Amino acid sequence: MTPIDARTAIARLLALLRQADAAQPISEAQWQEHATVARRLNLIGTAGEQLRVQGMKPPAAIARHFEGARALSERQRQSVRWEVRCIDDCLAPLGVPVLLLKGAAYAMADHVVSRGRLFGDVDILVPAAALGDVESELMKAGWATAKADPYDQRYYRQWMHELPPMFNVRRGSVLDVHHNLLPRTARHHPDPDKILARSLPLAEHRCMRVPALEDMLVHSLVHLVHEGEFHNGLRDLVDIDGLIASGAGQSDFWQRVSGAALGNELAEPVRLGLLLARDCVGTPVPEAVLRELAPGQPPELSRWHAAVLPRALYSHALREPLQRRDRWARQAAYWRAHALRMPLHLLAVHLARKAWLSLQPVKVEPQREA
């Protein structure tokens, strides 16, 4: 599949997700294309849910892929609910708010974007002052760090916005514990207390909360823009499109979004994320909002961003090996994200260490006789 074909195939898939193809006949070859592209972009469960809602019936051999992913999503949603209940039981005695982020927040709020979405880990945000107590209680409840290397521990604890990832030794689930939306060393410094103050308590839980809709959207946009690897980038843009669609009917929605971005040093990444959503998946974004976020700037992507980020996003629908321009776009997006995350002197040391480790032979432990 060439880059031009990929754009066309993605546009067709997005039209399907937006119900634009509901009245149009779809050939078996087109159904196969939808399934292939949706799987590569981690959107096959979302597509399966949309097909169910629309009552559309692909050929049986293809329908099982969509339905299987949709059923897997529902099982994962149930697992997320159980994990959140366990985390609530563990952390409620501390008396601190625990804010769910991204996919877990969508699932627990039963937002439409969670239906059919495939999940990975659970992300939470807690006040920085409570981070030590939270980690201690989680460890008592069976959570352990997934990063044993001392450098990795220092990287997360000294520079990042989260603890090293934790996994549950009994259930195998993965938990990311954040104390902010962006690393300590990042260019922007949002105040998580403002997000916590706008958050909503989760019914039938003691300490769990979900972000206000505007903060869900802002976080999704900021996460996308600061992400260096776009394997889930178009999936995240579909999330963003759904979040905007759910709020666009509220008279003060865009005012709240602009206020949340401008009031938390996030106007620049939010504007860039909105431009990507508009240009890549057709999300309607008022130009007045773009002007408010960046007065005096044209409501369009810069030449560099337009040349790099959409190509890096679309490249994940392509078969390997990629063309040189696609490989370059992915690499440029990766370096850009790291430059946003850390100042140059720290970035140089960090990437040099990663490059050195990548050249080292993998140690294989000798197997012992039973």
For 276-325, the pLDDT digits (tens) are 999 999 999 999 999 999 998 999 999 999 999 999 999 888 877 888 99
Beta carbons of 224 and 273 less than 8 angstroms apart: yes
How confident is the prediction for the chain on average, in pLDDT?
89
Band (pLDDT 50/70/90 cuts) for residue 369 is very low
Instruction: Give residue 231's region: left, alpha or beta (phi > 0; psi -120 to 50).
Output: alpha
DSSP state of 128: G
Q: Which two tokens stand for residue 309?
A: 């980020």
Give residue 320's pLDDT.
74
Query: Which domains are seen in the chain, by residue range?
Result: 3-356 (3.30.460.40)
Give residue 338's pLDDT.
84
pLDDT digits (tens, 9 = 90+) for 7-58: 788 888 888 887 755 556 788 998 999 999 999 999 999 999 999 988 888 9
Beta carbons of 118 and 76 less than 8 angstroms apart: yes
Question: What whole-number distance in Å separates Cα of residue 257 and Cα of residue 262?
Answer: 9
Q: Taking residues 326-335, report their average pLDDT.
A: 91
Question: What whole-number distance in Å separates Cα of residue 99 and Cα of residue 188?
Answer: 21
- Closest by CA to 301, choosing from 329, 271, 281, is 271
**pLDDT over 50 at 367, yes or no:** no
Q: Taking residues 207-211, report their average pLDDT.
A: 98
Query: What pTM was computed for the model?
Result: 0.91
Band (pLDDT 50/70/90 cuts) for residue 368 is very low
Q: Taking residues 151-160, report their average pLDDT.
A: 86
